[in-house]
């Protein structure tokens, strides 16, 4: 009889039940979309931000000490300490290997351009193919790391031994154009190059001229060595734990240490890089890492607020609809009380009806939400959003919470309803 | 033996005294009518006897138990177990069939028994209309479903509020015949009515005026009418 009554009420009040289902569907679709985007946005926003450069600088231990003592800028090229180029592939073998987006080494030298102006020259990878010890392979380098650079002409390739790239201001100052022949004087020797690209980095880059790493190693006689490396990694915004760990990982308890090590905090990634590269010190480029964290936190907060507001709106909508429905059915509810139904029976009947309508709405809303999430993914990030199964139990819980909150006024109304008032008008 | 006793019962709504010092006894198996003009307190009395309201003062004793101080949950139990309610507006659940409306009362009382519910409908001449929705039934038929629902749990007291108030002459006669049959079987019936024809069939008629019992008429034509 209970289910006959539920079924009867559902079909008899099709319009109202559809409105309840629609309200829940609307709230759930927004919640599902926002929660999925929120859970996936970390990676998405991180990747988006990674197109604006590296967030970790790896330098040799001795050079780091000089920086710490004398406050010299990182990568100033004054140190005689070097990292081994052959170890750089290990960066992709750390615990958070999948979070390493790109990395590139630099070997810096100071030389005279056309025998006149002193310029800083960096040798680097442009698109370097690496075979990793894990059996995987990888292409990494400047082209991937400096996507926002405006290039006149072309990027160099790693095999362009007789070509260089020059910074736009340095080119203008030295009256150099694309395709010009230039001479680089290092020590007693002069080397001939053709300008293949003129770049505008949008900021004051340290190096004014870029060459393939191999060429600079050959000129300086430092085969297999690099002075530093830049790493672009997907990281989690810092919190109290990561800040403490960054100062001194040994101050953490074992449990804290495990949590920190197994979370992609920038300090944890740095620590793991130092574990795989001999005598290296990795340091977060704080300005970038902190901005990324702040943007990510704000984006997540915004989406969380939208989720809460959409569900609160749904609860209000349900509350109005259910209260109106119960008021319309006051004679029926009064009759059920008159023939012996307790308040709990009637509350259960009404809530079951709302839950069924709500679950139908939630089911439809879930799939609509996945659709919305994909629309957001493609229009904002240009890629699909990964659907997180963890959202399902969360949404089920939220639907019940919303229905429960929305049903409170209706249940209070029906508890207060006296059969004499609705059946006999007193 | 009295099934129902009202002892010095009053009901006051703010300034309005709906019932004042009512003293009334209803014997087991008696058929009693309550009459009076609008505002005389008939409905209030019906609500108090039917456990849908409580008196402001006085005691209501049903089947030997004082129910005047019971809470809402206890009154629901009394209603469910001892009283069959018949309404002028029928109050059928319009998305349930005639049979299901009868079974709804069974469901909240004890166990559903479709066969028994069908027998109750057959008793009021509606066996063939069991699967019809209220909207597919005439007013008289709806009232008979309401009577079947009131009878299904074998109540001690049948309480009817203007049971013929919304019916034509033919249906009024059918309903009255059902009441007569119930009375003959020994049911205790209290009926609130404006209709003198209904009152004529009862053993006693209580006339209410301004919340007080103005008069009690004993119908000597009816067998056993001398019981007061």
Is A274 part of any domain? no
Candidate from B52, B95, B149 with C-beta closest to A8: B95
**Alpha-carbon gap, residue A404 to A157, rounded angstroms:** 63
- Residue A341: other Cβ atoms inside 10 A: 24
Q: Phi/psi at A382 (nearest 5 deg)?
A: 70, 20
Cα A360 to chain center, whole Å?
A: 33
Instruction: Write the burial class of residue A75 (CB in 10 Å: 0-12 exposed, 13-18 middle, 19+ buried).
Output: buried
Among the partner-chain residues A4, A423, A426, the one whose CB lies closest to the CB of B100 is A4
Asked whether residue A277 is assigned to any structural domain, the reply reads: no
Tokens representing A321 are 């609809």
Residues of chain B with C-beta less than 8 angstroms from the C-beta of A334: 91
Question: Does residue A203 sit in the same domain as residue A119?
Answer: yes
For residues A98 and A35, membership in a common domain is answered with: no
Domain boundary among A185, A213, A233: A233
- The DSSP result for A80-125, as a single string, is ---EEGGGGGGGGGSTTGGGEEEEEEEEEEEEEETTTEEEEEEEE-
Collapsed DSSP state (helix, strand, coil) of residue B157: strand
Helices (H), A51-111: 61-70
Domain that holds residue B169: 2-218
Residue-level pLDDT at A318: 81
Structure tokens at A395: 């949404």
Quick one: how many helices (H) and strands (E) in chain A? 14, 14
The Cα-based distances of B163 to B85, B150, B176 in angstroms read 10, 12, 9
Greatest alpha-carbon span in chain A: 113
* Structural domain contains residue B29: yes
Q: Do B93 and A8 touch (CB under 8 A)?
A: yes
Residue A53: predicted pLDDT: 62
* Boundary of a domain, candidates A233, A267, A302: A233
User: What is the pTM assigned to this prediction?
Assistant: 0.61
Is residue A109 domain-shared with residue A226, that is, in the same domain?
A: yes
Contact assignment for A5 to B96 by CB distance below 8 Å: yes
Q: How far is A351 from chain B (nearest CA, A)?
A: 18
Helix A240-247 and helix A254-261, axial crossing angle in degrees, nearest 10: 100
Structural domain contains residue A63: yes
Residue B170 lies in a domain: yes
Cα–Cα distance list, B116 to A340, B51, B95, B100, B127 (Å): 18, 26, 21, 12, 11
Give yes or no for a contact between A49 and A99, defined as CB atoms under 8 angstroms apart.
no
Closest CB to B79 among A8, A338, A424? A338
Which residue has 């009418």 as its token pair? B225
Tokens of A196: 């293949």
Residue B28 vs residues A135, B4, B63, B218: alpha-carbon distances, Å: 97, 8, 9, 16
Beta strand A225-226 with A181-186 is unpaired
Residue A74: the pLDDT is: 42
Does some domain include residue B196? Answer: yes
A292 near A43, Cβ under 8 Å?
Answer: no
Residue window 85-104, chain B: list those with CB within 8 Å of chain A: 85, 87, 89, 91, 93-96, 100, 103-104
| Pair of tokens at residue B21 | 């010092």
Rounded Cα gap, residues A212 and A219, in angstroms: 11
Report which secondary-structure segment, H or E, holds A120: strand A117-124
Considering the domain architecture, whether residues A28 and A124 belong to the same structural domain is answered as no
Q: What is the pLDDT of residues B150-172, one digit of tens each?
A: 888 888 899 998 888 877 788 88
Q: A326 and A385 share a domain?
A: yes
Distances (CA, A) of B101 to A418, B108, B114, B139, B148: 20, 11, 11, 15, 9
3-state secondary structure at position A69 = helix
A412 and A336 inside one domain: yes
> Is A374 a domain residue?
yes
Q: Give residue A387's domain range.
A: 2-46+294-423
Residue B48 lies in a domain: yes
CB contact under 8 A, A341 and B81: no
Q: How far is CA A313 from the centre of its chain?
A: 28
CA quadruple B46, B51, B57, B62: dihedral positive or negative?
Answer: positive
Nearest to A103 by CA among A63, A56, A48: A56
Which of A1, A419, A424 faces B161 most closely, judged by CB atoms? Answer: A424
Residues A177 and A312 in one domain: no
Please name the member of A1, A11, A420 whose beta carbon is closest to the beta carbon of B47: A420
Binning pLDDT at 50, 70 and 90, where does residue B39 land?
confident
Considering the domain architecture, whether residues A303 and A385 belong to the same structural domain is answered as: yes
The pLDDT value recorded for residue A70 is 53
Residue B188's beta-bridge partner residues? B157
Best mutation target among B43, B91, B98, B192 (most A Cβ atoms within 10 Å) is B91
Residue-wise burial string across A44-72, b where 16 or more C-beta atoms lie within 10 A, e elsewhere: bbbeebbebbbbbbbbbeebbebbeeeee
The distance of B221 to chain A (nearest Cα, Å) reads 32
Beta pairing partners, B189: B31, B158
On the question of pLDDT at B69 being above 50, the answer is: yes
Q: Output the pLDDT for position A204.
A: 64
Nearest residue on chain A to B150, judged by CA atoms? A339
Geometric angle at alpha carbon A281, from A275 and A287, rounded to 5°: 120
- Record: contact A337-B76, CB cut-off 8 A: yes
Domain for residue A271, yes or no? Answer: no
> The tokens of B46 are what?
């019906």
CA distance A326 to chain B (A): 14
Number of domains in chain A: 2
Does residue A387 lie within any of the structural domains?
A: yes
Across the 426 residues of chain A, what is the mean pLDDT of every consecutive 10-residue run?
80 82 87 84 66 78 62 51 91 89 91 87 93 86 87 92 91 90 90 93 75 93 92 84 83 89 89 92 75 73 83 83 83 86 87 88 91 87 81 86 85 85 68
Residue A17, in any domain of the structure: yes
| Number of domains within chain B | 1
d(CA A77, CA A278): 19
Which residue is associated with the tokens 């340095």? A170
Residue A251 lies in a domain: no
The last residue of a domain, from among A215, A233, A251? A233
Cross-chain residue pair B52–A423, CB shorter than 8 Å: yes
Asked if residues A142 and A210 have their Cβ atoms less than 8 Å apart, the reply is yes
Scan for tokens 């964290």, then name that residue: A293
We report the CATH number of the domain holding residue B29 as 3.40.50.300
pLDDT of A7? 82
Q: So what's the pLDDT on residue A1? A: 78
The full DSSP string for A333-350 is HHHHHHTT--HHHHHHHH
Distance between CA atoms of residues B104 and B200, nearest Å: 33
Burial zone of B189 (CB within 10 Å; 0-12 exposed, 13-18 middle, 19+ buried): buried
* Domain shared by A41 and A81, yes or no: no
């Amino acid at each position: 009889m209970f289910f006959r009554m539920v079924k009867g009420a559902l079909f008899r009040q099709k319009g109202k039940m559809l409105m309840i289902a629609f309200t829940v569907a609307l709230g759930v679709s927004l919640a599902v979309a926002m929660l999925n985007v929120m859970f996936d946005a970390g990676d998405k926003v991180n990747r988006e931000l990674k197109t604006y450069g590296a967030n970790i600088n790896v330098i040799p231990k001795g050079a780091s000490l000089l920086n710490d003592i004398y406050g010299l800028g990182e990568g100033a090229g004054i140190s005689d300490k070097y990292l081994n180029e052959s170890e750089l592939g290990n960066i992709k073998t750390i615990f958070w290997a999948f979070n390493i987006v790109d990395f590139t080494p630099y070997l810096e030298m100071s030389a005279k351009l056309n025998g006149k102006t002193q310029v800083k020259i960096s040798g680097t990878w442009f698109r370097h193919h690496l075979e990793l010890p894990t059996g995987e392979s990888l292409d990494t380098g400047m082209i991937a790391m400096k996507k926002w650079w405006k290039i006149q002409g072309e990027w160099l390739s790693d095999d362009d031994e007789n070509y260089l790239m020059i910074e736009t201001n340095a080119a203008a100052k030295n009256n150099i154009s694309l395709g010009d022949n230039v001479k680089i004087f290092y020590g007693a020797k002069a080397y001939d190059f053709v300008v293949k690209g003129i770049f505008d980095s949008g900021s004051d880059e340290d190096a004014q001229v870029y060459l393939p790493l191999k060429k600079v190693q050959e000129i300086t006689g430092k085969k297999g060595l690099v002075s530093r490396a830049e790493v672009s990694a997907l990281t989690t915004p810092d919190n109290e734990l990561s800040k403490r760990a960054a100062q001194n990982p040994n101050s953490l308890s074992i449990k804290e240490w495990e949590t920190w090590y197994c979370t992609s905090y920038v300090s944890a990634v740095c620590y793991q890089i130092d574990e795989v590269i001999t005598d290296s010190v990795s340091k977060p480029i704080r300005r970038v890492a902190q901005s990324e964290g702040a943007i990510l936190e704000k984006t997540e907060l915004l989406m969380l607020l939208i989720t809460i507001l959409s569900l609160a709106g749904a609860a209000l909508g349900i509350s109005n609809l259910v209260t109106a429905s119960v008021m319309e059915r006051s004679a029926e509810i009064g009759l059920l009380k008159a023939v012996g139904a307790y308040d709990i029976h009637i509350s259960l009947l009404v809530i079951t009806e709302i839950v069924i309508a709500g679950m139908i709405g939630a089911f439809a809303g879930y799939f609509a939400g996945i659709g919305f999430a994909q629309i957001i993914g493609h229009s904002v990030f240009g890629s699909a959003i990964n659907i997180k199964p963890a959202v399902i139990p969360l949404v089920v819980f939220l639907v019940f919470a919303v229905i429960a909150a929305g049903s409170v006024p209706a249940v209070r109304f029906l508890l207060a309803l006296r059969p004499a008032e609705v059946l006999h008008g007193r | 033996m009295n099934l129902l006793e009202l002892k010095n019962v009053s009901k006051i709504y703010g300034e309005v005294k709906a019932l004042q010092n009512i003293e009334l006894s209803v014997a087991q198996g008696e058929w009693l009518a309550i009459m009076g003009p609008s505002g005389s307190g008939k409905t209030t009395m019906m609500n108090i006897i039917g456990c849908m309201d409580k008196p402001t003062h006085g005691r209501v004793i049903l089947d030997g138990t004082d129910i005047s101080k019971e809470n809402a949950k206890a009154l629901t139990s009394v209603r469910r177990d001892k009283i069959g309610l018949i309404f002028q507006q029928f109050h059928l659940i319009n998305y349930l069939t005639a049979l299901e409306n009868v079974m709804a009362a069974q469901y909240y009382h004890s166990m559903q028994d479709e066969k028994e519910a069908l027998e109750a409908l057959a008793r009021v001449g509606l066996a063939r209309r069991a699967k019809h929705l209220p909207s597919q039934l005439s007013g008289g038929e709806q009232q008979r479903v309401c009577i079947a629902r009131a009878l299904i749990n074998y109540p001690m007291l049948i309480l009817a509020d203007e049971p013929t108030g919304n019916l034509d002459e033919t249906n009024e006669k059918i309903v009255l015949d059902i009441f007569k049959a119930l009375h003959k079987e020994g049911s205790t019936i209290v009926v609130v009515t404006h209709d003198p024809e209904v009152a004529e069939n009862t053993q006693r008629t209580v006339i209410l005026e301004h919340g007080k019992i103005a008069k009690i008429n004993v119908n000597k034509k009816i067998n056993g009418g001398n019981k007061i």
